[in-house]
C-alpha cells in the first residue's frame, strides 16, 4: 500500500461530511455529495492512500431504518464517490453503550484491521466532535470540516479545521504530522484556501 509519510489511509464520516445529511436516510435517491467531495476523495486515491467510511447509524436502533437500507445508501455513496476500501457503521443508539459508536474508537479500529494499518497511520475527517473524539481515542489524527450543525466548542477544540473536504485533504497531504499537530489555530484561518478548488 502506498502512502504519504506515515499516512496510509483516510477515513471519512458519511453524513454531513461525504454527503449532505438527510437524518435517518434510507433512500439512496436522496444521496447528494457534499461540495468538493468527489475531487477530495479522488485526491486521496491519487496520493496512494486507502479510503474508508465510518458512520454512526442509530436510526437502525430507533427502528427508523433497516440495516439493508443503510447498505443501500452506502452502495449509492460508493457509486457516486467510491469504491471505498472499507465501510464500517454502528447501528446502535447512545444508550446502548456500544464500543463502536463514535466517539468510541471501535469503528476506526475495525476499519484499520480491515485495511491492515495501524490507527497512527490513519486520519479521520468528520463534521462533529464525535468524529474527532473517536479518532483521538483510537490514536488517529483528525480534521474537522464544520457545517451548520457543528458546535462552536467542537471547532475550538479541534486541532485541525478545514473549510471543506478538499481543504481537509490538502492539509493532510501537505502538512507533516508533527507540524500539523503543533500548528493548531494557524491552519484555521488565512482567507479561503479552497477558493478555486475542484467541485
Query: Is the torsion defined by CA of 168, 142, 2, 107 positive or negative?
Result: negative
Task: Check if the beta carbon of residue 9 is closer than 8 Å to that of residue 48.
Answer: no
Tally of helices (H runs) and strands (E runs) in the chain:
7, 5
- Residue 183 pLDDT: 36
As annotated, the active-site residues are 13, 15
Which of 164, 187, 158, 159 has its CA nearest to residue 174? Answer: 187
Task: Give the β-pairing of 9-12 and 50-56.
Answer: parallel
To which H or E segment does residue 178 belong? helix 177-183
To which H or E segment does residue 43 belong? helix 37-46
Query: What pTM did the predictor assign?
Result: 0.86
Task: Check if the beta carbon of residue 113 is closer than 8 Å to that of residue 138.
Answer: no
Q: How far apart are CA 127 and CA 164, in angstroms?
A: 10
Digits of tens for pLDDT over the chain (199 positions)?
555 459 999 999 999 999 999 999 999 999 999 999 999 999 999 999 999 999 999 999 999 999 999 999 999 999 999 899 999 999 998 888 899 999 999 999 999 999 999 999 999 999 999 999 999 999 999 999 999 999 999 999 999 999 999 999 999 998 554 444 433 333 443 333 333 333 3
- Residue 175 pLDDT: 54
- Residue 187 pLDDT: 46
Residue 162 Cα distances to 37, 66, 113, 159, angstroms:
13, 33, 27, 10
Amino acid at each position: 500500500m502506498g502512502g504519504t509519510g506515515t499516512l496510509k489511509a483516510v477515513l471519512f464520516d458519511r453524513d454531513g461530511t461525504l454527503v449532505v445529511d438527510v437524518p435517518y436516510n434510507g433512500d439512496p435517491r436522496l444521496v447528494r455529495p457534499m461540495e468538493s467531495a468527489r475531487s477530495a476523495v479522488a485526491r486521496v486515491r491519487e496520493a496512494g492512500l486507502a479510503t474508508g467510511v465510518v458512520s454512526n447509524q442509530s436510526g437502525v436502533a430507533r427502528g427508523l431504518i433497516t440495516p439493508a437500507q443503510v447498505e443501500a445508501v452506502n452502495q449509492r455513496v460508493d457509486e457516486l464517490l467510491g469504491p471505498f476500501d472499507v465501510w464500517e457503521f454502528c447501528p446502535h443508539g447512545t444508550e446502548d453503550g456500544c464500543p463502536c459508536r463514535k466517539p468510541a474508537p471501535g469503528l476506526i479500529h475495525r476499519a484499520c484491521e480491515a485495511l491492515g494499518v495501524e490507527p497512527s497511520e490513519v486520519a479521520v475527517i468528520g463534521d462533529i466532535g464525535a468524529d474527532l473524539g473517536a479518532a483521538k481515542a483510537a490514536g488517529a489524527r483528525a480534521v474537522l470540516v464544520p457545517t451548520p450543525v457543528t458546535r462552536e466548542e467542537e471547532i475550538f477544540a479541534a486541532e485541525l479545521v478545514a473549510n471543506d473536504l478538499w481543504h481537509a485533504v490538502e492539509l493532510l497531504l501537505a502538512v507533516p504530522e508533527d507540524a500539523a499537530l503543533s500548528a493548531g489555530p494557524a491552519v484555521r484561518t488565512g482567507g479561503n484556501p479552497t477558493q478555486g478548488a475542484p467541485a
